[in-house]
Amino acid sequence: MGPACDAIIVGAGHNGLVAANYLARSGLKVAVLEARYVVGGACVTEELIKGAKFSSCAFVQGTFRPEIVDELKLRDFGLEMTAPDVQGLAIFPDGSHVCLWKDLDRTVRELERISQREAQGFLEFGIRLQRFGRLMKPFLFRADPPKRSEVMKAFEDAGETELYNEFMLASTNGLVGKYFSSDHVRGLLTFLGLVSVWAGPDTPEGAYLYGYHAIGEFEDTIGRWAFVKGGMGGITQALARAAESHGVEITVNAAVSEIIVEGGHVGGVRLASGEELKAGIVVSNAHPKLTFLKLLQPRHLKSRFKEAVERIDTKGAMARVHLLVDQLPHYVGFESAAEGWQHRGLVVLGCSIENYHKAHAAQLEGIFPDDLAVELVIQSVSDPTLAPQGLHTITLGVQHTPFELAEGDWDSRKREWGDLVCENLYRYAPNLRDHILGRHIITPLDLERDYGLVGGNIFHIPMTMEYSFDARPSPAFGGYRTPVKGLYLCGAGTHPGGAVTGMPGRNAAHAVLADRSGTVADAAIAPSSKGFIERLMESDSGSKLGYRVARNPLLRPLTRYLSKNRRG
């Protein structure tokens, strides 16, 4: 593994690889150690069924920061991403459906078929979401996470206290219900705020997850998502190649068993094999609980700090079912199983507010509900390299899954769970019952055991106000620095949070470099992107607002808001 290095990264998830890139580009000698056989962590492509490749955990890209892509020149290292025309499709048991398109005007026309109120609400919601994202952006790239009071003051100074309350304190149902009245539209949009949460649609502060995703953008467009060529592992493979081009040594099948501390300062790591590697800096991409409670000897932590780590909440699980099929879904309400636009984006089945309430109630009891909201993507339609010719990969996701079951455990009930998910799928695509060639199930327990996601939480720690800003990973301590000198955190359990963003890795690297140079940490990035407001003003929907106001007085408040905020 070579001689001692300047910095060791524990875990080759995307944030660990981002940190490694920035440290190496600053001249440090960096080693990355990964316990699994492949880099990527939960942002990985794997052959889960023979002959087919799947994005095992994260499956679409909507939050990976474009600034990081540009700074690390990841396109030069093979990163390719494409946004599908269908950004969200909800299909209901009676065959009705509603679609959100990549094209703004097409989405507005789709919603106008439901009602003028839904179209107006979508435009208003998009503007508010962008405004929230822009006010939040200065706080995201921070090597020293902001205090909650600092963030609140920024909203107050901007005259946006109501916006803060909407996206920070409201429930998901309360936020979405303010702008939409259609059960179909509310069902689809509410689902997007219930990802890996231990909460129902009416739980206070649930809307913060929505606000957090307002930081995401693709092609200069807030809220747009993309498929990564080759699956989500395309991101981490590009990061690995970029890191290696700057001298980073990446080793897989190299599980770290202990972070060595000597005289109160990090001295390196010990591998499960017994081998030791020396370094004065260790940056852990592992979950905070694993870092402090498993990789550090207890004597290196004060008892109060250890107790604070033990109190960190990890609730908020989900599960995945991956399928290999020889026929595309023939959805109810559609003419056939022939390849069409309905197969090219994110599909959500059974996304009713009632189902969300039932799912959360079942989650609290540790049981399986009969009716599930199921998300679905078929990336092989857009990227044929993922499956053998004539076959397709289907990835299903179910939120609101309990981690601890009232009866049995996930290992003993995995097959039962997979059957339940598939039966829900068959209600909307009956033809698939006889066309599944292979199935791979990833339970919340698998997420913890195989991918290091404690409690099955893909965000490491809940995305709530309790664990935000300088209170992440704990209200008792926050940020990337730890009580052990030379030991840093860089994973999803740090500011600003989970999802495939790269921000924790970039911020942590800047904290390391600031400490080495004795300067004030600064990871700031200037605002860019034109976003929703500018797209709206350039679109047919925006240019016709004057005409619409003449016909519909309900749109007059929207145009006044546009006039006030089109530059901000």
Q: Concatenated DSSP letters for 482-533?
A: -SSBTEEE-STTSTT-SSS--HHHHHHHHHHHHHHHTSPP---------HHH
Q: How far is Cα 188 from Cα 41, in angstroms, rounded to an integer?
A: 29
Chain-wide mean pLDDT for the chain?
Answer: 91
- Shared domain check, 546 and 486: no
| Per-residue model confidence (pLDDT) at position 546 | 41
Calculate what percentage of the chain has a pLDDT beyond 90: 83
Q: Average pLDDT of 21-34?
A: 98
540 token code pair:
């047919």
Give the pLDDT confidence of 282-291 residue by residue, as tens digits.
999 999 999 9
The answer to whether residue 93 sits within a structural domain is no
Identify the residue whose tokens are 């600034």.
67
Handedness of CA 107, 113, 115, 116 (dihedral sign): positive
In this structure, how many other beta carbons lie within 10 angstroms of the beta carbon of residue 387? 23
Q: How far is Cα 231 from Cα 541, in angstroms, rounded to an integer?
A: 34
Q: Are residues 505 and 239 in contact, defined by beta-carbon separation less than 8 angstroms? A: no
- Shared domain check, 369 and 273: no
- Shared domain check, 444 and 377: yes
What pairs with residue 13 in β-bridges? Answer: 40
Name which of 487, 464, 489 is nearest 478 in CA terms.
489
Query: Would you say residue 431 has pLDDT above 80?
Result: yes
| Per-residue model confidence (pLDDT) at position 550 | 39
| Per-residue model confidence (pLDDT) at position 531 | 56
Instruction: Report how far apart, in Å, the C-alpha atoms of 56 and of each of 213, 396, 447, 530 are.
Output: 21, 10, 10, 32
Q: Average pLDDT of 173-186?
A: 95
Q: Concatenated DSSP letters for 147-161?
A: PHHHHHHHHHHTT-H
| Per-residue model confidence (pLDDT) at position 527 | 46
Q: How would you classify the pairing of strands 249-251 and 256-262?
A: unpaired
The answer to whether residue 178 sits within a structural domain is yes
| Per-residue model confidence (pLDDT) at position 532 | 54
- Shared domain check, 354 and 278: no
Q: At 214, is the pLDDT very low, low, confident or very high (cuts 50, 70, 90)?
A: confident
Q: How far is Cα 503 from Cα 524, in angstroms, rounded to an integer?
A: 11
- Shared domain check, 238 and 144: no
Name which of 374, 375, 230, 396 is nearest 325 in CA terms.
396
The answer to whether residue 56 sits within a structural domain is no
Q: Average pLDDT of 386-406?
A: 96
Could you give the angle at the alpha carbon of 360 between the alpha carbons of 498 and 55, nearest 5°? 40
Q: How far is Cα 489 from Cα 342, in angstroms, rounded to an integer?
A: 41
Torsion of CA 166, 168, 172, 175, to 10 degrees: 10
Give the pLDDT confidence of 234-260 residue by residue, as tens digits.
999 999 999 999 999 999 999 999 999
| Per-residue model confidence (pLDDT) at position 524 | 63
Give the pLDDT confidence of 64-100 residue by residue, as tens digits.
999 999 999 999 999 999 999 999 999 999 999 999 9
Give the pLDDT confidence of 218-238 residue by residue, as tens digits.
777 777 899 999 999 999 999
| Per-residue model confidence (pLDDT) at position 215 | 72
DSSP state of 285: -
| Per-residue model confidence (pLDDT) at position 3 | 57
DSSP state of 169: I
Give the pLDDT confidence of 350-375 residue by residue, as tens digits.
999 999 999 999 999 999 999 999 99
The answer to whether residue 55 sits within a structural domain is no
- Shared domain check, 261 and 138: no
DSSP state of 295: S
What pairs with residue 226 in β-bridges? Answer: 61
Length of the chain: 568
- Shared domain check, 190 and 212: yes
Domain boundary among 429, 451, 473: 451
Could you give the angle at the alpha carbon of 317 between the alpha carbons of 315 and 319, nearest 5°? 170
Q: Which of 344-358, 450-464, 550-564 has the lowest mean pLDDT?
A: 550-564
Q: At what angle do helices 183-191 and 172-179 cross, to 10 degrees?
A: 140
Calculate what percentage of the chain has a pLDDT beyond 70: 91
The answer to whether residue 548 sits within a structural domain is yes
Q: What is the CATH number of the domain that holds 276?
A: 3.50.50.60
Give the pLDDT confidence of 490-517 residue by residue, as tens digits.
999 999 999 999 999 999 999 999 999 8
Q: How far is Cα 17 from Cα 4, in angstroms, rounded to an integer?
A: 19
Name which of 104, 60, 363 is nearest 227 in CA terms.
60
- Shared domain check, 475 and 408: no
| Per-residue model confidence (pLDDT) at position 223 | 78
- Shared domain check, 327 and 441: yes
Q: Are residues 222 and 532 in contact, defined by beta-carbon separation less than 8 angstroms? A: yes
Q: Are residues 352 and 470 in contact, defined by beta-carbon separation less than 8 angstroms? A: no
Domain boundary among 406, 428, 451: 451
Q: How would you classify the pairing of strands 477-478 and 473-474?
A: antiparallel
Radius of gyration for the chain, computed over Cα atoms and rounded to the nearest angstrom: 23
Domain boundary among 451, 479, 503: 451
Q: Are residues 213 and 499 in contact, defined by beta-carbon separation less than 8 angstroms? A: yes
Q: Average pLDDT of 401-419?
A: 97
pTM (two decimals): 0.92
Q: At 4, is the pLDDT very low, low, confident or very high (cuts 50, 70, 90)?
A: confident
The answer to whether residue 467 sits within a structural domain is yes
Alpha-helical (H) ranges within 12-115 are 14-25, 66-71, 104-114
> How many domains does the chain contain in total?
3
Give the pLDDT confidence of 121-167 residue by residue, as tens digits.
999 999 999 899 899 999 999 999 999 999 999 999 999 999 999 99
The answer to whether residue 53 sits within a structural domain is no
- Shared domain check, 332 and 425: yes
- Within 416-552, strands assigned E span 436-442, 473-474, 477-478, 487-489
Could you give the angle at the alpha carbon of 270 between the alpha carbons of 266 and 272, nearest 5°? 150
Give the pLDDT confidence of 519-557 residue by residue, as tens digits.
766 666 544 445 555 555 555 555 554 434 434 444 444
| Per-residue model confidence (pLDDT) at position 553 | 42
Domain carrying residue 421 = 317-451
Q: Average pLDDT of 15-41?
A: 98
Q: CB within 8 A of 61, min separation 6: which ones?
A: 81, 218, 225, 226, 227, 228, 232, 235, 500
The answer to whether residue 152 sits within a structural domain is yes
Q: What amino acid occupies position 140?
A: L
Query: Would you say residue 562 has pLDDT above 90?
Result: no
- Shared domain check, 134 and 203: yes
- Shared domain check, 430 and 377: yes
Q: Is 204 exposed, middle or buried (0-12, 13-18, 19+ CB in 10 A)?
A: middle
Q: How far is Cα 359 from Cα 399, in angstroms, rounded to an integer?
A: 8
Query: Phi and psi (nearest 5°) for 319?
Result: -145, 155
Q: What amino acid occupies position 248?
A: V
What pairs with residue 535 in β-bridges? Answer: none
